[in-house]
Amino acid sequence: MSSADPARNGFVHLALPKGRMEEGVMRLLGDAGIRLTFDRRGYRPTISLDGFETKILKPQNIVEMLHMGSRDLGFAGADWVAEKGVDLVELVDTGLDPVRIVAAAGPEFLDGGRPRHAGFLVATEYERITRSWLEQRGYDGRVVRSYGATEVFPPEDADCIVDNTATGATLKANGLLIFDELMRSSTRLFACPRSLDDPEKRARIEHFVLLVRSVLDARKRVMLEVNVPGDRLEAVVAILPCMREPTIAPLHHDAGFAVKAAVPRTDLPELIRAIKERGGTDIVVSGIAQIVP
């Protein structure tokens, strides 16, 4: 058996999602320096990571395969892990493709934000999540399984729905109002619990997690560089929300200091104002590709 043979012990079988999550996950891997080479119409790209083999599958199937153990590692929505009721290890929440799983109905069904009457019918693709919500809320409801286009069921074919929503446009277009939130979901990296018991697989999975996290962390930060006169240095450094300590280098001819720090992107507008106020000049902001702690 060669070291490139997927049947070898310690090889990680990775599942990548087909469909709406595909683009974000592919970009994430690309930004982490992981290359995938596709053949025409093939669902088995070659991955540039040593000791990994990969396959493209629908996320609902990825959840099942991670549960059975035929795949070790895979990206899927947290909603389908909850819906299938399986015990997987969540390694990374990428925050990509965020959705809310909500209960929604037309205004005629609602009374003060609650179902108007007992014995109602809920249309949903999420049967298990819906049943446990009914039980938790003490609602007397029955479930009809939908296979897409769930929003069109009410009022004739169901009283309300449980479905995912991203922008809310589909609910609005069908005249439905959200009256409860059951959970939030996003694209996450899951592992089969047993795969983490294998030391060789575990080490490879941990390295994969580190690469993915390095990109997600880098996306949240920018590199900020600023020149500061010597007597303003401490005042500027004090307000920098950097990861550890900023890098400080003296400028030529004792002209002050260059200060460099990776700061949260969302802090930038306020930070630039505060730095200018404290005497910082020549501010340069640039992107970061990866951050490995």
Ligand X SMILES: O=P(O)(O)OC[C@H]1O[C@H](OP(=O)(O)OP(=O)(O)O)[C@H](O)[C@@H]1O
Q: Which residues bind ligand X (CB under 6 A)?
A: 148-151, 163-170
169 vs 249 by CB, closer to ligand X: 169
Provide, rounded to whole angstroms, the least separation between the CB of residue 77 and ligand X.
Answer: 11
Q: Indicate which single residue of 77, 141, 154, 246 sits in contact with ligand ATP (rule: CB under 6 A).
A: 77
User: Is position 21 an interface residue for ligand ATP (rule: CB under 6 A)?
Assistant: yes
153 vs 190 by CB, closer to ligand X: 153
59: partner contacted, choices ligand X, ligand ATP, none (Cβ within 5-8 A by kind): ligand ATP
Provide, rounded to whole angstroms, the least separation between the CB of residue 206 and ligand ATP.
Answer: 25
Nearest Cα to 185, choosing from 106, 95, 247?
95
Nearest Cα to 62, choosing from 92, 18, 26?
18
Q: Indicate which single residue of 94, 130, 185, 214 sits in contact with ligand ATP (rule: CB under 6 A).
A: 185
Provide, rounded to whole angstroms, the least separation between the CB of residue 183 and ligand X.
Answer: 15
163: partner contacted, choices ligand X, ligand ATP, none (Cβ within 5-8 A by kind): ligand X
Residue 242 has phi, psi (to 5 degrees) of -90, 175
CA 186, 168, 116: angle at the middle one, nearest 5?
110
- Residue 266 near residue 241 (C-beta atoms within 8 A): no
Indicate the Cα dihedral angle 212, 214, 215, 218, nearest 10°: 160
Contacting residues toward ligand ATP, per CB under 6 A: 19-21, 58-59, 77, 79-80, 97, 99, 148, 164, 166, 185
